[in-house]
Structure 1
């Protein structure tokens, strides 16, 4: 079989994006910078100033930070990294916090050493952390990606600086313009199985573990258990497991997940439905892994136009990818996979992101419902007319159009959501 032309690039994209993270990635990003700052200062700072883009504030203020004794918000995120973080662990920076660290965090919260400001920036994922200890100062700037340090200044001298990522593709390192639905399907069908298995085994293990944990314990409103109680089908099971994993993660569960597009929720919604449906259909291990790489790349493709953070709910993109992958597992053609995507996007192309929080789990359920419906219609060879709303003739063109709407058209929506969350705007 002829080797796929873009195999090297596709693998590089997957390696960049499928990474482990403990806790919601936005708070963990701040913890990462906090740990790096303490390491550079040689101790815990006396003063901390953090300037964050609006999207970061939106995605941090309501999420429980893992291993902190249920602390929530920007200050807790920073202090977790400052007190007990290890920046060499990336997005698992606070995996080794101790009880003593938590006590110290509470002491620093009482001292009110952190000042939070809104950073005026066109970049959705962007912040500048400034810290002081005795006569030493440190400034760390991160853009586009959660651990992408673009500059470090110590005592007002630049000790590290690099170019930002490729702006057109949201700061990622490998050009995503090579992605199309047809190429993604071709890659999934032809890539060497053992390479796929090595790459994706951690995603299967980690993401299914937190799903099971979410169903065993009472996180949030126990959405997974509620769904299982009322919906007795493989589709109910998929929604329950995926939502339970998200709810556990958003509620402070310390178990790591494998992310997609910088998001744990997107990693969960991309993978868990595929794993469960493959198990339900008794397909081979190889077929399951090929389906899983298809789903991951479809999510990455959609998100490459939307951006890391936006007013458009990224979990919807991931759930749609899972729906399209159900079509693949049922033996659907590339055309039917494209029809699934178009049908689903006709349904849920306007679900907004109002920050990371436990109720993200319910939005995943909504996205999966749309993905299932899109799949059922496609398997019956039905697809919405390209003249419907913002739909286009092909799935690729539709993905581009939704990305344009989300990235450009919903900027003002993002501002209004942030203002409402910060109670700066009167309602009614």
Structure 2
């Protein structure tokens, strides 16, 4: 007997509209900037001291990530910019307001050693706390559970905002709780009930992330990874990068995903359409699916449904694994979600879409997250390659055996095993990575 779907169509649309939103810059430094912007607005004047505490995942992902409209990288600069901007109403796009004057004021705070960032090692989930002082005036802001989830604001010790943190599986959003009770097949059945018009807003993400992928064609970005992939000039050898890679579906996906990620994580001033609270996850969940839709001649309705499935699976896996895991969730979650979306476009059955998840589980599980940086473009290109291979083999009924390693009989079992590896099997991984990163700084 078929299990009843746990989420209504209206609830799914509400979840997607709240989850698939524009973001400017790597989400972790933006989160720190947002926290500082809240505290700065409450303080109402230029701070003399800024103290930031973050969980290990925020610290790791923000250490080397580029900041939009700023030549520097790292969390102290993000905090200083937020403190100067005082524009928390802009959410994840607050750094688009950076000007030369803003930069000058922020750099002065850094140069005078007025900004300090520490790791709160006891915090295991998303956590940013900012305390500012100016004379006898103080302000505080705390973000928990999600990158925009402000749970505490105070001035001079007097609470302005205080709300409880939902510590359940899905985080702060009760709709994610419903999603976590569903099977991947339920999600597919649900997206099949939604019309093209109702999901048309998802195409905004395709347009936005396609524009981001083209940025490095005319502007210098990162270390030249995307340039190497699409170069028509000969390298050290006698053949160009484009000739070596070709121009088939896989090559186009690799180049677009790598280009978009490299530009974004180098501080590109263009926004990304995010998914599950992260811009890079958004471009990984969107671009391989939209490129595949074009390749197979999918109808607009098929494309938006595949995109919806990709976003839902991405959110589901992130909720199970945790948003800031020792594993690269841009690959573990977003690339696996893209594999499900591509299998859908290839005409896969519910069972075959599950096979795509199983094949990803047995292929890329365990890829480390060592922070947000331009090198992530190589990781997500690798994940997208695996996603296409997993989707193709799935629809040709060539799944990895359920008895193989950490694979399971169902996609839900596979994801649970994936999460167990990240939470239990790699419990000390972040500690070691942080030791290496802190030694550098």
Q: TM-score, normalised by structure 2?
A: 0.92
Q: Provide the rounded CA distance (Å) in 2 between the counterparts of 1:148 and 1:40.
A: 17
Note the C-alpha offset of 1:33.
1.3
- Work out whether 1:231 is the aligned partner of 2:251: no
| Aligned position for 1:309 | 324
**How do 1:170-249 residues align onto structure 2 when only pairs under 5 Å count?**
170-174=171-175, 175=177, 176-198=179-201, 200-228=202-230, 229=242, 230-232=244-246, 233-249=248-264
Note the C-alpha offset of 1:424.
8.4
Given that 2:406 and 2:417 are in contact with CA atoms closer than 8 Å, whether structure 1 keeps it comes out as yes
| Aligned position for 1:256 | 271
Q: Provide the rounded CA distance (Å) in 2 between the counterparts of 1:411 and 1:253.
A: 33
Q: Provide the rounded CA distance (Å) in 2 between the counterparts of 1:421 and 1:102.
A: 26
Given that 1:35 and 1:87 are in contact with CA atoms closer than 8 Å, whether structure 2 keeps it comes out as yes
Note the C-alpha offset of 1:373.
1.8
**What SS is found at the alignment partner of 1:206?**
helix
Given that 2:61 and 2:372 are in contact with CA atoms closer than 8 Å, whether structure 1 keeps it comes out as yes
Q: Provide the rounded CA distance (Å) in 2 between the counterparts of 1:221 and 1:159.
A: 44
Q: Provide the rounded CA distance (Å) in 1 between the counterparts of 2:5 and 2:415.
A: 27
Given that 1:257 and 1:264 are in contact with CA atoms closer than 8 Å, whether structure 2 keeps it comes out as yes
Note the C-alpha offset of 1:226.
2.1
Task: Give CA-to-partner distance per residue, 1:127-171, whole Å, 9 cap, x none.
Answer: 211101121111111111111111122111222210102432233
Q: 1:186 to 1:422 in 2, by over 3 A?
A: same
Given that 2:41 and 2:86 are in contact with CA atoms closer than 8 Å, whether structure 1 keeps it comes out as no
| Aligned position for 1:93 | 94
Note the C-alpha offset of 1:74.
1.2
Q: Provide the rounded CA distance (Å) in 1 between the counterparts of 2:95 and 2:279.
A: 16
Note the C-alpha offset of 1:4.
9.0
| Aligned position for 2:408 | 392
Task: Give CA-to-partner distance per residue, 1:278-335, whole Å, 9 cap, x none.
Answer: 1122221121111111111111111110111010101112112212222211111111
Q: Provide the rounded CA distance (Å) in 2 between the counterparts of 1:346 and 1:216.
A: 38
| Aligned position for 2:142 | 141
Note the C-alpha offset of 1:382.
1.1
**What SS is found at the alignment partner of 1:71?**
strand
Gaps of at least 5 residues in structure 1 are none
Given that 1:38 and 1:82 are in contact with CA atoms closer than 8 Å, whether structure 2 keeps it comes out as yes
- Work out whether 1:61 is the aligned partner of 2:63: yes
Q: 1:99 to 1:383 in 2, by over 3 A?
A: same
Q: Provide the rounded CA distance (Å) in 2 between the counterparts of 1:224 and 1:288.
A: 26
- Work out whether 1:80 is the aligned partner of 2:64: no
Q: Provide the rounded CA distance (Å) in 2 between the counterparts of 1:339 and 1:120.
A: 38
Task: Give CA-to-partner distance per residue, 1:187-227, whole Å, 9 cap, x none.
Answer: 221112211003x1321221111011133333123222322
Q: Name the stretch that deviates more: 114-123 or 295-304.
A: 114-123
Note the C-alpha offset of 1:45.
0.6
| Aligned position for 1:110 | 111
Note the C-alpha offset of 1:408.
3.1
Q: Provide the rounded CA distance (Å) in 1 between the counterparts of 2:226 and 2:293.
A: 20
Note the C-alpha offset of 1:240.
0.3
- Work out whether 1:382 is the aligned partner of 2:398: yes
Task: Give CA-to-partner distance per residue, 1:345-364, whole Å, 9 cap, x none.
Answer: 10111101000000000000
Q: Provide the rounded CA distance (Å) in 2 between the counterparts of 1:119 and 1:344.
A: 33
Given that 1:270 and 1:296 are in contact with CA atoms closer than 8 Å, whether structure 2 keeps it comes out as yes
Q: Provide the rounded CA distance (Å) in 2 between the counterparts of 1:283 and 1:138.
A: 53
Given that 1:3 and 1:191 are in contact with CA atoms closer than 8 Å, whether structure 2 keeps it comes out as no
Q: 1:275 to 1:424 in 2, by over 3 A?
A: closer
Q: Name the stretch that deviates more: 375-384 or 52-61.
A: 375-384
- Work out whether 1:156 is the aligned partner of 2:175: no
**What SS is found at the alignment partner of 1:168?**
coil
Q: Provide the rounded CA distance (Å) in 1 between the counterparts of 2:181 and 2:252.
A: 35
| Aligned position for 1:372 | 388
Q: Provide the rounded CA distance (Å) in 2 between the counterparts of 1:373 and 1:126.
A: 36
Task: Give CA-to-partner distance per residue, 1:37-62, whole Å, 9 cap, x none.
Answer: 11111111111111111111101110
**How do 1:338-377 residues align onto structure 2 when only pairs under 5 Å count?**
338-377=354-393
| Aligned position for 2:304 | 289
Given that 2:285 and 2:314 are in contact with CA atoms closer than 8 Å, whether structure 1 keeps it comes out as yes
- Work out whether 1:416 is the aligned partner of 2:419: no
How well do the aligned residues superpose, as a CA RMSD in angstroms?
1.8
Q: Provide the rounded CA distance (Å) in 1 between the counterparts of 2:173 and 2:434.
A: 25
**How do 1:6-17 residues align onto structure 2 when only pairs under 5 Å count?**
6-17=8-19
Given that 1:138 and 1:152 are in contact with CA atoms closer than 8 Å, whether structure 2 keeps it comes out as yes
Q: Name the stretch that deviates more: 212-221 or 31-40.
A: 212-221
Given that 2:217 and 2:227 are in contact with CA atoms closer than 8 Å, whether structure 1 keeps it comes out as yes
Q: Provide the rounded CA distance (Å) in 2 between the counterparts of 1:85 and 1:39.
A: 5
